[in-house]
């Protein structure tokens, strides 16, 4: 997740250090909200069988 957001920032000519910790974390959470559902959908299509009731995100 961090690397994806950092790549997006690089395309904009920015870095996480330019933003500061709080703004960077906000951006990571925004990305998670946009992409989290896609990731879960992909995992389900692959046939993985985790405990979906206990879904976690590494930034939790």
**Structure tokens of 1?**
């997740």
Q: Which domain holds residue 6?
A: 1-34
How many domains in the chain? 1
Residue 42 within any structural domain of the chain: no
Residue 56 within any structural domain of the chain: no
* Whole-model pTM over 0.75: no
Give the containing element (helix H, strand E) for 47.
none
**Structure tokens of 56?**
């976690």
pLDDT digits (tens, 9 = 90+) for 19-39: 999 999 999 989 988 887 788
Residue 57 within any structural domain of the chain: no
pLDDT digits (tens, 9 = 90+) for 39-51: 888 888 999 888 8
Q: If you ran DSSP here, which 8-state letter would residue 58 be given?
A: T
Residue 45 within any structural domain of the chain: no
Residue 52 within any structural domain of the chain: no
Residue 55 within any structural domain of the chain: no
Residue 16 within any structural domain of the chain: yes
Using the Cα atoms of residue 13, residue 17, residue 18 and residue 23 in order, give the sign of their dihedral.
positive
């Amino acid at each position: 997740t961090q690397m994806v957001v950092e790549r997006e920032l690089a395309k904009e000519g920015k870095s996480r250090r330019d933003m500061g910790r709080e703004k960077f974390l906000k951006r990571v959470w925004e990305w998670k909200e946009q992409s989290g559902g896609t990731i879960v959908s992909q995992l389900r299509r692959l046939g993985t069988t985790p405990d979906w009731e206990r879904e976690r995100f590494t930034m939790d």
